[in-house]
Amino acid sequence: MKKAIFAGSFDPFTIGHMDVLRRAAVLFDEVHVGVLVNPGKHPLFTPEERRGMIEAAVREAGIENASVSVFSGLLVDFAHSVGARYNVRGLRSGADFDYEYPMEYYNRRMASELETVYLASDPAHVHISSSAVRMLMASGAGISGLVPDQIYKIIAERVKSDEQ
């Protein structure tokens, strides 16, 4: 059984992430999405909020072989905890590869059996990033179409309740 992880901050999960996950779910028997708890960062959404949003989007997309959990610490330990031999990463650009390649080096040093698999982004998604979504949200601009519909609904509800 081929098991993969797809890890990230996902603050929030975008349609670009969803495209990579959908394609990974075709390539692998199981895909374990890992939401990173990064104590050094101040995320917009808590790890549990992010996990819940991604789960809702995965359900809506009808992806049956993906699960979502929160992890902290090393990616290789998350991979071991779910028994995954593959680490899926999306690539939008050469800059993404420059960021990913050193991480692959360190991951390989720590876990030589973990194979990193890069999926080139859909050209329609190359400019979509969680940081751009957060920037738009902070400015009160719309984010419809940048995140999966289910996630858009959850975020819109949260924005509405924050305003009340």
Q: Any idea which residues carry the catalytic annotation?
A: 17, 41, 92, 130
Short-list 57, 31, 35, CA closest to 46: 35
Is 9 a binder of ligand PNS (CB under 6 A)?
yes
List all residues 6 or more positions away from 56 whose beta carbon is below 8 Å from its beta carbon.
Answer: 150, 151, 154
The answer to whether the CB of 44 falls within 8 A of the CB of 17 is no
Per residue in 18-31, is it b (16+ CB within 10 Å) or e — as a string? bbbbbbbbeebebb
Instruction: Give the range of 43-51, 55-63, 102-110, 154-162 binding ligand PNS by CB under 6 A.
Output: 102-110
What is the layout of strands, in order, in the sheet containing 30-37? 66-72, 30-37, 3-8, 86-91, 115-120
Compute how many other C-beta atoms are within 10 angstroms of the C-beta atom of residue 100. 17
Q: Is 128 in the site for ligand PNS (CB under 6 A)?
A: no
- As measured in angstroms, the least distance from the Cβ of 107 to ligand PNS is 6
Least Cβ distance, residue 164 to ligand PNS (angstroms)? 31
Residues in the interface with ligand PNS (CB under 6 A) total 9
Strand, coil or helix: 80: helix
Taking the complex as a whole, the smallest distance from the CB of residue 74 to ligand PNS amounts, in Å, to 4
**Residues 55 to 94: which contact ligand PNS by CB under 6 A?**
74-75
- 117 touches ligand PNS by CB under 6 A: no
Question: Judged by CB, which is closer to ligand PNS: 131, or 144?
Answer: 131
Decide if residue 7 touches ligand PNS (CB under 6 A): yes
- The binding site for ligand PNS (CB under 6 A) comprises 7-9, 36, 74-75, 103, 106-107
